[in-house]
Amino acid sequence: MRLRNLMPFVPSGLDYDRSRRFFLDLGFGENWGNEEICELQLGDVRFLLQNFSSEELQQNFMVAVTVDDLDAWHDHLSSLNLAEKYPGVRFSQPEQRPWGVREIHLIDPAGVCWHFN
């Protein structure tokens, strides 16, 4: 048996609409959605953003995403002025991590940590 897809359910935090706008600003498209959940996609990567808040979960939830060009992705993130539009959102410079992967860490509006490598 072969696995073909993995689609995490990512919590939005207290403000579902804000989180939804954040991912749209990153460049994700919305395939479908309602006030409880939406499917977001950028390239081949899809996930479900759910209108759900649990601070403990959000502070410990992580998603790893592989991009074609990490430096270009960093330039894209930098061009969006995310910290101004979404206070609390932050991301790192591309950095070689102790586990052997060069990554950017992005904290989304809910506090979820996205590892882009």
Domains of the chain: 9-116 (3.10.180.10)
14 band by pLDDT with thresholds 50, 70 and 90: very high
Q: What's residue 38's pLDDT?
A: 98
Residue pair 30/49 in contact (Cβ under 8 Å)? The answer is no
Q: What is the mean pLDDT of the chain?
A: 97
Tokens of 24: 């749209």
Q: How far apart are CA 88 and CA 110, in angstroms?
A: 9
Q: 77: which strand partners?
A: none
Task: Find the helix or strand (DSSP H, E) in which 75 lies.
Answer: helix 70-79
- Distance set, CA 112 to CA 1, 2, 11, 95 (Å): 31, 29, 8, 19
